[in-house]
Homo-oligomer: A and B are copies of this chain.
Amino acid sequence: MSIDTLKICRVEIDTYHENVAYLNRECSIYRVEGFQALSKIEVKVNGTRLLAVLNVVDDNSIVQPGEMGLSQQAFKHLNVAEGTLVTVDHAEPPKSMDAVRRKINGERLSQSDFDAISNDIAETRYSKMEMAAFLVATGQNNLDRDELLYLTRSMLQSGERMNWHEPLVADKHCIGGIPGNRTSMLVVPIVAAHGMLIPKTSSRAITSPSGTADTMEVLSKVNLTPEQMSEIVRQERGCLVWGGTAKLAPVDDMLISVERPLGIDSQGQMVASILSKKLAAGSTHLIIDIPVGPTAKVRHMRQALALRKLFEFVGDRLNIHLEVMITDGRQPIGLGIGPILEARDVMQVLNNNPNAPADLRQKSLQLAGRIIEFDPDVRGGQGYAIARDILESGRACAKMNNIIKAQGGKDIDLQPGKLCYPVCADRDGVVTRIDNFQTAKIARIAGAPMDKKAGIDLFKKLGNEVTKGEPLFQIHAEFPADFKFATKLAQQNSGYSIGDSEQVLQPLIAF
């Protein structure tokens, strides 16, 4: 509560999402205020304020007494010149933590509670542990569906919202968990070739071997400004870019940065995350893909149905036209897993190559068909045939080439990593199971997605016959250390089960 001033200086330390302030231990303000290392402080200048974690420094070459050092991120956020005088104070805990504590105690929260929480998170008033407390308190079945609606609405309102000035803005989203599942790269050119607007933003891989943005990056740039994206969408009706540059639903990103390392996710938070992002992106019509299978994110039909109802409940109340497709999540989609191998599969389907993976083609046509049926001029049931016609006629491929070119197309090199190791069947039989987690893990350890050429190439899928010693899949890598670890992991557990034909894992539903 003192009003002494300190001089701002930049400390060349990168602290990522966290603002860190450095104060010399000999600084008089440090002693008078009774600050403690790791306590949260508020730095104030000209009516703006920055919250930061305090580190105390005993080296005058880093910060001197009388200076307030800021990490690179904190310096950028405060946005004042070095030498500017600032005041510093203890930061008050965020007021909305009261609501979080009420939730921990089992109470139901209101729209204004969620708004206050989202606001405080957006203003970086929450520490990571406070976000963790919020996520656990609202996880599992701790939110009823009205609360979920409030949460989604408050997350949506925390950031900017795009407006495409068209009545129908199509989008698709898969809840994830299935390696190789690059349907967006087929759905976008098909739907855009039909003339519908589909400005697709995708994520990079966080725990998977490749995200759509990682795979698309093999073919073109994906890191475009919102202005570049608008320009391309106006021209081509579609795009395939990374969603990280726009400030859409920033609270979602901040919660995800805690959720991922904790390995917690709940259906409610997934629904709020996806719908707040899609609404912020200006989508009006959305297909959600929920793969179901024993090694998918959703393992039982009853779970998939409950999730579908949640999406429908929230989507209907936030005015997005939303349809859910429950799909076959028993095994990876396509043959390649990893950016270059997946890009190869996509290009083969677009080129109508007879070797193209049939499952990737089929699923993409189904999704594209459903989106095309959002078009009021298309008769119900005709979407699939229209999508297939666009693909077979080469119009999807031409559209994709235009999008690639508009996004700054690269010299395309689809050669996977030159270090190869085939993983072979240990008996005669048929493939009865393929573990999504294990195949993803092997591809990731081989270096995907950082190393675009790394990954695995599947030769056999569920139900295929194999003979002892025949390759099931091949590992590709560029770096010897990665190659060694991936090979070792595959030797311990290939993710494949070989058995008799009657043991083949059956779909949970006729897809």
Interface residues of A (CB under 8 A from B): 1-2, 11-18, 20, 22, 25, 34, 36-38, 55-59, 61-62, 71-72, 93, 97, 101, 104-106, 127-133, 135-137, 139-140, 258, 261-264, 450, 481-482, 485
A96 to chain B, nearest CB (A): 12
Residues in B neighbouring A128, C-beta threshold 8 A: 127-129, 132
B14 with A55: CB separation less than 8 A: yes
Residues in B neighbouring A481, C-beta threshold 8 A: 1-2
Residues in B neighbouring A263, C-beta threshold 8 A: 93, 97, 101
A132 touches which of B14, B18, B93, B136 (Cβ 8 Å): B136
Given contacts A129-B128, A129-B131, A140-B104, contact A15 B1 (CB under 8 A): no
Distance A278 CA – B17 CA, assembled complex (angstroms): 40
Distance A56 CA – B20 CA, assembled complex (angstroms): 12
A262 touches which of B72, B133, B140, B482 (Cβ 8 Å): B133
Residues in B neighbouring A450, C-beta threshold 8 A: 34
Copies in the complex: 2
**A22, A59, A450 pick with most chain B CB within 10 angstroms:** A59
B57 with A104: CB separation less than 8 A: no
Known: A58-B72, A97-B263. 6 other contacts (CB 8 A): A13-B56, A13-B59, A14-B37, A15-B38, A34-B450, A133-B262
Distance A258 CA – B133 CA, assembled complex (angstroms): 10
Given contacts A139-B104, A140-B106, A481-B2, contact A57 B133 (CB under 8 A): no
Distance A13 CA – B130 CA, assembled complex (angstroms): 24
A104 with B136: CB separation less than 8 A: yes
Given contacts A101-B264, A263-B101, contact A57 B12 (CB under 8 A): yes
Given contacts A128-B129, A132-B133, contact A16 B38 (CB under 8 A): yes
Residues in B neighbouring A58, C-beta threshold 8 A: 12-14, 72
Residues in B neighbouring A20, C-beta threshold 8 A: 55
A258 with B129: CB separation less than 8 A: yes
B140 with A105: CB separation less than 8 A: yes
